[in-house]
Amino acid sequence: MSGAAHAEDGYELWLRYKPLPAAEQSAMAAHASAIVAPGSSDTVRVAVDELRRGFGGMTGHAPERATGAGAGAILLATPDESPDVAALKLPLGALGKEGFLIRSIAIGGQPVTLVTANSDIGLLYGAFRLLELAEAGQPLDKLDIQSAPKLQLRVLDHWDNLDRTVERGYAGQSIWDWWKLPDWKAPRYTDYARANASIGINGAVLNNVNAQPASLTAPFIAKAAALADVFRPYGIKVYLSPRFSAPIEIGGLKTADPLDPEVKAWWKAKADEIYRAIPDFGGFLVKANSEGQPGPQDYHRTHADGANVLADAVKPHGGIVMYRAFVYSENNAEDRAKQAYSDFKPIDGKFADNVIVQVKNGAIDFQPREPFHPLFGAMPKTPLMMEFQITKEYLGFATHLVYLGPLFQETLESDTYAHGKGSTVAHVLEGKVDPYRLTGMAGVANIGSDRNWSGSVFNQANWYAFGRFAWDPDASAEKIAAEWARMTFTPDPAFVAPAVKMMMGSREAAVDYMTPLGLAHQMGTSHHYGPAPWVSDLARPEWNPTYYSRADASGIGFDRTATGSNAMAQYAPPVARMFANPKTTPETLLLWFHHMPWDTRMASGRTLWADLIAHYDAGVADVGTMRAEWAKLRPYVDADRFAETSVFLSIQQREAQWWRDASIAYFQSVSKRPLPAGVTPPAQTLEYYESLRFPIRPGN
Amino acid sequence: MSGAAHAEDGYELWLRYKPLPAAEQSAMAAHASAIVAPGSSDTVRVAVDELRRGFGGMTGHAPERATGAGAGAILLATPDESPDVAALKLPLGALGKEGFLIRSIAIGGQPVTLVTANSDIGLLYGAFRLLELAEAGQPLDKLDIQSAPKLQLRVLDHWDNLDRTVERGYAGQSIWDWWKLPDWKAPRYTDYARANASIGINGAVLNNVNAQPASLTAPFIAKAAALADVFRPYGIKVYLSPRFSAPIEIGGLKTADPLDPEVKAWWKAKADEIYRAIPDFGGFLVKANSEGQPGPQDYHRTHADGANVLADAVKPHGGIVMYRAFVYSENNAEDRAKQAYSDFKPIDGKFADNVIVQVKNGAIDFQPREPFHPLFGAMPKTPLMMEFQITKEYLGFATHLVYLGPLFQETLESDTYAHGKGSTVAHVLEGKVDPYRLTGMAGVANIGSDRNWSGSVFNQANWYAFGRFAWDPDASAEKIAAEWARMTFTPDPAFVAPAVKMMMGSREAAVDYMTPLGLAHQMGTSHHYGPAPWVSDLARPEWNPTYYSRADASGIGFDRTATGSNAMAQYAPPVARMFANPKTTPETLLLWFHHMPWDTRMASGRTLWADLIAHYDAGVADVGTMRAEWAKLRPYVDADRFAETSVFLSIQQREAQWWRDASIAYFQSVSKRPLPAGVTPPAQTLEYYESLRFPIRPGN
């Protein structure tokens, strides 16, 4: 019934644990007759709770915690905790601190499901994996699975402000109810931790990188500490974003120069204060000298100087600094795509050993498609971590169905050729290309106070996929989509196969209707909602979509070869060579690197002008297909989630059409070319599209 | 289990319909064997849905909709819809359009529960009342109840901005997800309508009275129309707050002078546009020439001129205008408490017949205690409606447990003596003192996107009580509290009696620890969080707490008698006489009307100075008692709601202590008197309390 309080409202994410058909319940219950978990930590306790909740939900009967492993029991223990497990002498070395092993074994002749690890957090991860298999309808009688994360830091970056607004947030306000913290630890914080632990996320940066100084004051440290207390059993560390000028703003100093002794002492005292409240505080995430944020360059110091003063402060406590490479300056006329490399490449090796530099997937800013960032593979002496954006700032906000798995995978499997073929971005992150003492991946969270957490049910898949890729950068977007769809909706292949197909095609559809062929940043300035390719009058060149398209009567595209900005040369020679030549540049990135005549003959046989239009049309058509496919899935989906997705697809279709029409109208005004035969003219005039204004919109 | 998705998270409000003990289910099911509802409107449909949901939840078996009334059926029909009902020839005249009658009757010898009314909305209200009786554990076999609302307009005023911030909102952001409207009608909107209909609320002003011009643009009209579509079956009309200067800002006119023909035409066209989208649009709520809002006085017109131009525009469509009397001007040196009366009394009778003037309960601004507003009883020719504030701007935000029923009741039963004794505020509103063509009550909503709607479970009681008082201004706060507690928690008297006791005392506790003895507006300026009685340096006198306390070495209190501002004279002579003399002024309002020497002997036998301190101490002690009482109720309450209330009470106790300590520290600095023997000194110095800052806080 619509509006029922306990409808499928998306709150449960992929941890739904719905009752199985009666016929299947006893078979599953036979593999969860009891839970034997001799460990006594809070982490073991929450792992047991989760197994009881999960199997209880699916079978109707929560297994009891027992002391002896009888038939069908789940034995959840490290070798240290259980003589039975120790006696198995399993080779657990490869699991590291966080990995786990799940195996169907016999103890005293009785079948038992063993979940083991070198630490209790590994047990928790194993418990979640076992539940995932059960939810996905896998047989549980012959399990033999082991898995360990390939990256150490698997972190969500919350761009949450202290007033609960969320920068680029499209899922309501911040889930952190700062005002009621530290007293009130809302149950939702626990569910947040459960969801993250279920996909291996082990860190959360609580506040926006565009940081307010107050984030480091005593009241907010106490609030962060309360969240850390909730998250601790789930293996999730809390991090904060400091404002670089905090020594002035809340410290009362005259300077924030990172080499000033008073500034160093201030950061040290501040770190000590934080660690008194949060003994396992993770450390800092820093945005400095970027988009108006203060930073070390204000004092003619390098980013390494800036990072190291913070790193020195947290180092005695075991903390780290994640220092963002997303820098570009209002005074720098260089191609924006080149600036991060130009700033950071020269200081490779200058960072303290507890600093990791956080690099966006591409050199501009989370576009529907970008080539991989040239810093990957170019910093052999400085650990780099990936920064993906899970929230869809440039990809349709909450209501476009765009599964980001393919975007993540495309970036991660890109080959940097740093040390020859096979030097993929994934391998760079994993420290296989250059040995990194720290490894990690960050995702800008799409989580808010909306009941469904992420603004739409399908946006949950992006949170899920981020966690999976952070655990294994070599993972498959398609397999992840299937996993997610099975748990979130139903394991029925009649649903899963078409749903996965729809998800897998959705990102290319968005690229096609927004920014095909390597175009970028054609969105409405500042809010990034909808098309505005005509905008050219903003103060800074790189704020203008025309800066990126460079469309004129002769052609379209940004020449980043030697005849242009030469950004191409920031890549390793084999990659640079590929991008230097339009013939060897993938068409998907053509206009990123080349300014091409409108008449260029494309692989399709069409001219560039016609091909560009064909891409817009294909994007719109794809959304239509998605809508039609979704309509067929009604029998498999509850009414509320079906309706939400249907309505959002209708919004997406309307906005895809708007993107297509406005873009064609603008580029036609520049190319002065007729529409190819058979192409439908834009529904409105260019002036109409230019006149649209969105003064009230989310995420700013 | 903490964090379970379907824990008692407060979302269901008082409409929980939890399964009864098995032994009681069959007895109840015998009174809900089927539902016979021959009507075909959407309102009848949702009434049937609700009965099925409610009895289904409580008995485990939802009654089917049937055509013939067999034993135990619920017959839900107007006489027009059912020959059986018509044949009963019940005297339904007194029920009006919205009242209902519930009676246990026999049809063809079979026992049937009849719910009847003159209209389908009456049936819906009756269905909710029947469910309330069932939830409260009342016997359903000998029912004979009739009820009709005493006020026509029962309206929630949402101070919700178009960016989803909520002015004075402490329950998260606006529940209106404007960005996704009109496409996505979130299921929550339906639940909002259900909750309101269950307590008889029949109107919702969607946007803040401090209105943005965009609220009247086409996109927002379409969004409001989508909400109106959801609310319509529940008898709830949608209203909007226009910005008075909208003819300039979105109309492109040079003026917003209400007597300008172009302005008149613009409002008429705008109203026509709205009614095309929302045929049953309720009308406008207007804040003008108040706190910086534009208004008719900008053009040297009266408030009546301002109201009438809007009234004329909506009149052809049956709409009304609610025009707020909350006006005070930065250029007016008159006692702020007098200004609304001074502005409106002279224009009594000048308003169009579809205007109702909306008057706050007191002349200042929703203080913990104020005397009733002197306009009540003073506008015989102009209908007045009440404006209460449900959100607790001055009463502890989300986390203080303050049940407002006693505040509502105290105001409503105040006697204006407009036409002699018995001219209560309630009777004024009901049109019994002076005949009013329109009657109504508005409540500033405490509803937001928080899962529990109102920021705390106990704040839900204030929403509930508002609805009940709007239906019957002569109702009893205590009975309402008991009704609410039974439905929201349990009918068990072992819970209900102490819970109601706690609720009933809670408002006086807040008065005591915040503003005892008639003090007012001692809150931190602008944010209204916590004590700041010392603030005296703001530009406008009435922004300063010292303006209200007038504390000095000689005494404390605002002289509003003839020797002072003479605000007292705005009341009818018997009331004015009572307030003129400190001896006949209730001590609860003493300092509102009189500046009294610190040595004044109070009823307690103490000096005023000692009595003031005793009130602060009593307030703090009362919160301690509430906390202890709540702790004893643990056996009757689910874990999550128990924990939330416990934590919030601990916050309240800490803040009550702060209020007490800071207030005493300040008043002692002024009175220069020692603390009476046995009084605990404030924990900190006055300077400490003055140094506290709250730059990041909700509700602004």
Residue A327 CB neighbours (<10 A):
21
Question: What pLDDT, in 10s, does the model give residues B202-229?
Answer: 999 999 999 999 999 999 999 999 999 9
For A103, the enclosing helix (H) or strand (E) is strand A100-107
Query: pLDDT confidence of A286, banded at 50, 70, 90?
Result: very high
- Residue B308 phi/psi, 5° resolution? -70, -30
Closest Cβ opposite residue A644 in set B179, B184, B698: B184
Question: What pLDDT, in 10s, does the model give residues A111-131?
Answer: 999 999 999 999 999 999 999
What residues of B are in contact with residue A190 (Cβ under 8 Å)? 2-3
What residues of B are in contact with residue A3 (Cβ under 8 Å)? 187-188, 190-191, 194
Average pLDDT over residues B284-312: 96
3-state secondary structure of A279: coil
CB contact under 8 A, B49 and A1: yes
Ramachandran area for residue B164 (φ above 0: left; ψ -120 to 50: alpha; else beta)? left
Q: Which residues lie closer than 8 Å to A539 by C-beta, 6 or more apart?
A: none
**In whole angstroms, how far apart are CA B694 and each of A162, B3, B159, B393, B540?**
12, 31, 22, 15, 21
Question: What pLDDT, in 10s, does the model give residues B388-422?
Answer: 999 999 999 999 999 999 999 999 999 999 999 99
Closest Cβ opposite residue B449 in set A212, A449, A698: A449
Please, are residues A603 and A650 in contact by the beta-carbon 8 Å criterion?
A: no
Please, are residues B361 and B387 in contact by the beta-carbon 8 Å criterion?
A: yes
Query: pLDDT confidence of B6, banded at 50, 70, 90?
Result: low
**Which of the following is catalytic: A132, A343, A387, A393?**
A393
CB contact under 8 A, B647 and A184: yes
pLDDT for position A2:
33
Give the long-range contacts of residues B279-282, CB within 8 A, separation 24 or more: B279/B317, B280/B228, B280/B232, B280/B237, B280/B318, B281/B228, B281/B237, B281/B238, B281/B239, B281/B240, B281/B314, B281/B317, B281/B319, B282/B155, B282/B203, B282/B237, B282/B238, B282/B239, B282/B319, B282/B320
* Residue closest to B438 by CA, chosen among B394, B383, B391: B383
3-state secondary structure of B532: coil
Active site includes A365?
yes
Q: The tokens of A192 are what? A: 């947040």
Active site includes A655?
no
Please, are residues A43 and A1 in contact by the beta-carbon 8 Å criterion?
A: no
What residues of A are in contact with residue B176 (Cβ under 8 Å)? none
CB contact under 8 A, B183 and A9: no
pLDDT at B546 over 60: yes
Task: Report the Cα–Cα distance between both ends of chain B, in Å, rounded.
Answer: 36
DSSP B317: G
Q: Does A12 touch chain B (CB under 8 A)?
A: yes
What residues of A are in contact with residue B640 (Cβ under 8 Å)? 187
CB contact under 8 A, B187 and A647: no
What does the alpha-carbon distance between residue A599 and residue A617 come to, in Å, rounded to a whole number? 19
Instruction: Note which residues in 399-458 of chain B have CB less than 8 A from chain A.
Output: 399, 449-451
Instruction: Note which residues in 678-697 of chain B have CB less than 8 A from chain A.
Output: 695-697
pLDDT for position A5:
43
Name the closest residue on chain A to residue B191, using Cα atoms: A3
- The two most distant CA atoms of chain A are separated, in Å, by 82
pLDDT at B5 over 70: no
- The two most distant CA atoms of chain B are separated, in Å, by 82
**Which of the following is catalytic: A144, A163, A262, A291?**
A291
Q: Does A218 touch chain B (CB under 8 A)?
A: no
DSSP B373: P
Q: The tokens of A348 are what? A: 């490779």
Amino acid at B288: A
CB contact under 8 A, B647 and A6: no
pLDDT at B541 over 90: no
pLDDT at A3 over 60: no
Question: What pLDDT, in 10s, does the model give residues A203-236?
Answer: 999 999 999 999 999 999 999 999 999 999 999 9
* Residue closest to A216 by CA, chosen among A273, A161, A265: A273
Q: Which of A179, A223, A250 to mutate to test the interface with B (most CBs of B within 10 A)?
A: A179
Name the closest residue on chain B to residue A189, using Cα atoms: B3
Ramachandran area for residue A304 (φ above 0: left; ψ -120 to 50: alpha; else beta)? alpha
Over the Cα atoms of chain B, what is R_g? 26
Name the closest residue on chain B to residue A184, using Cα atoms: B647
Query: pLDDT confidence of A10, banded at 50, 70, 90?
Result: very high
Q: The tokens of A543 are what? A: 């704020």
What does the alpha-carbon distance between residue B15 and residue B486 come to, in Å, rounded to a whole number? 11
Please, are residues B130 and B115 in contact by the beta-carbon 8 Å criterion?
A: yes
Q: Which residues lie closer than 8 Å to B235 by C-beta, 6 or more apart?
A: B43, B98, B121, B124, B125, B197, B202
Burial class for A498, CB neighbours closer than 10 Å (0-12, 13-18, 19+): middle
Q: The tokens of A181 are what? A: 């913290």
Question: What pLDDT, in 10s, does the model give residues B640-671?
Answer: 999 999 999 999 999 999 999 999 999 999 99
Q: Does A187 touch chain B (CB under 8 A)?
A: yes
pLDDT for position A1:
34
* Residue closest to A460 by CA, chosen among A53, A12, A28, A112: A12
What does the alpha-carbon distance between residue A585 and residue A598 come to, in Å, rounded to a whole number? 17
DSSP A680: P
DSSP B679: P
Task: Report the Cα–Cα distance between both ends of chain A, in Å, rounded.
Answer: 36
* Residue closest to A81 by CA, chosen among A50, A29, A123: A123
**Angle, alpha carbons B371-B374-B378 (nearest 5°):** 150
Ramachandran area for residue A110 (φ above 0: left; ψ -120 to 50: alpha; else beta)? beta
Question: What pLDDT, in 10s, does the model give residues A16-39?
Answer: 999 999 989 999 999 999 999 999
Closest Cβ opposite residue B183 in set A163, A177, A647: A647
CB contact under 8 A, B188 and A451: yes
pLDDT for position B1:
34
- Residue B297 phi/psi, 5° resolution? -65, -20
Average pLDDT over residues B673-686: 98
Query: pLDDT confidence of A541, banded at 50, 70, 90?
Result: confident
What does the alpha-carbon distance between residue A101 and residue A85 come to, in Å, rounded to a whole number? 11
Closest Cβ opposite residue B697 in set A49, A173, A179: A179
What residues of B are in contact with residue A184 (Cβ under 8 Å)? 399, 644, 647-648, 651
CB contact under 8 A, B187 and A698: no
What residues of A are in contact with residue B57 (Cβ under 8 Å)? none
% pLDDT > 90, chain A: 96
Arithmetic mean of pLDDT over chain A = 96
CA dihedral A227, A229, A230, A232 (to 10 degrees): 110
Residue B552 CB neighbours (<10 A):
13
CB contact under 8 A, B178 and A696: yes
CB contact under 8 A, A194 and B3: yes
Please, are residues B60 and B32 in contact by the beta-carbon 8 Å criterion?
A: no
Rounded to a whole number of angstroms, the distance from the CA of A12 to the nearest CA of chain B is: 6
Name the closest residue on chain A to residue B219, using Cα atoms: A694
pLDDT for position A4:
41
Rounded to a whole number of angstroms, the distance from the CA of B389 to the nearest CA of chain A is: 21
Active site includes B81?
no
* Residue closest to B5 by CA, chosen among A227, A34, A192: A192
What does the alpha-carbon distance between residue B602 and residue B371 come to, in Å, rounded to a whole number? 20
Question: What pLDDT, in 10s, does the model give residues B66-99?
Answer: 998 899 999 999 999 999 999 999 999 999 999 9
How do beta strands B73-76 and A110-116 pair? unpaired
pLDDT for position B591:
98
Q: The tokens of A12 are what? A: 């449960």
Rounded to a whole number of angstroms, the distance from the CA of B276 to the nearest CA of chain A is: 23
Question: What pLDDT, in 10s, does the model give residues B598-643?
Answer: 999 999 999 999 999 999 999 999 999 999 999 999 999 999 999 9
What does the alpha-carbon distance between residue A672 and residue B188 come to, in Å, rounded to a whole number? 50
Residue for token pair 């469509």: B317
Counting Cα atoms < 13 Å in the Cβ hemisphere of B191 gives 26
Rounded to a whole number of angstroms, the distance from the CA of B562 to the nearest CA of chain A is: 45
Query: pLDDT confidence of A576, banded at 50, 70, 90?
Result: very high
Question: What pLDDT, in 10s, does the model give residues A449-498?
Answer: 999 999 999 999 999 999 999 999 999 999 999 999 999 999 999 999 99
Q: For residue B408, how far is the Cα from the chain centroid? A: 8
Please, are residues B211 and B163 in contact by the beta-carbon 8 Å criterion?
A: no
Q: The tokens of A341 are what? A: 């490399």
**In whole angstroms, how far apart are CA B204 and each of A3, B216, B222, B237?**
19, 16, 16, 6
What does the alpha-carbon distance between residue B401 and residue B395 come to, in Å, rounded to a whole number? 9
Residue for token pair 């202590």: B657
What residues of A are in contact with residue B399 (Cβ under 8 Å)? 180, 183-184
Rounded to a whole number of angstroms, the distance from the CA of A387 to the nearest CA of chain B is: 28
- Residue B457 phi/psi, 5° resolution? -65, -40
What does the alpha-carbon distance between residue A449 and residue A173 come to, in Å, rounded to a whole number? 5
% pLDDT > 70, chain A: 99
Q: Does B53 touch chain A (CB under 8 A)?
A: yes
For A145, the enclosing helix (H) or strand (E) is strand A144-147
pLDDT for position A500:
98
Burial class for B309, CB neighbours closer than 10 Å (0-12, 13-18, 19+): buried
Over the Cα atoms of chain A, what is R_g? 26
What does the alpha-carbon distance between residue A50 and residue A126 come to, in Å, rounded to a whole number? 11
**In whole angstroms, how far apart are CA A322 and each of A259, A310, B361?**
19, 10, 55
Q: The tokens of B370 are what? A: 């104020």
Q: Does A6 touch chain B (CB under 8 A)?
A: yes
